[in-house]
Amino acid sequence: MSFSEIDENALQIVYDLVFQVNGMLPHCIRPQYSLITDLGMDSVELVDFLVRLEECGIVIKDSQISAELTVGEIAGMLKN
């Protein structure tokens, strides 16, 4: 999936969750940013983020979590 195919509403949800968890302003976040490498989430923030995603109905398997997991990939999961 290319970043141009990602639903803007899904992206905004992910941006807002990132902001709630680690304070990164939504206008500073890009779909290609990874949660760990680019946004600097630590393990506690990552768990908090994943719990908030589950509250939105998205469960990410342990095998899908990596330093390269991007905001856009998560937004794509929200769309599906």
Please tell me the pTM assigned to this model: 0.86
Give the DSSP letter of residue 70: B
At residue 67, the pLDDT reads: 87
At residue 20, the pLDDT reads: 97
How many Cβ atoms from other residues are within 10 Å of residue 18's Cβ?
A: 24
Domain ranges of the chain: 3-79
CA nearest 21: which of 54, 57, 58, 46? 46
CA nearest 58: which of 43, 74, 71, 47? 74
pLDDT tens for 58-75 read: 888 889 888 899 999 999
Q: In degrees rounded to 5, what are phi and psi of residue 41?
A: -65, 135
Let me know if domain 3-79 sits in CATH 3.20.20.480. Answer: no
pLDDT tens for 18-57 read: 999 999 999 999 999 999 999 999 999 999 999 999 998 8
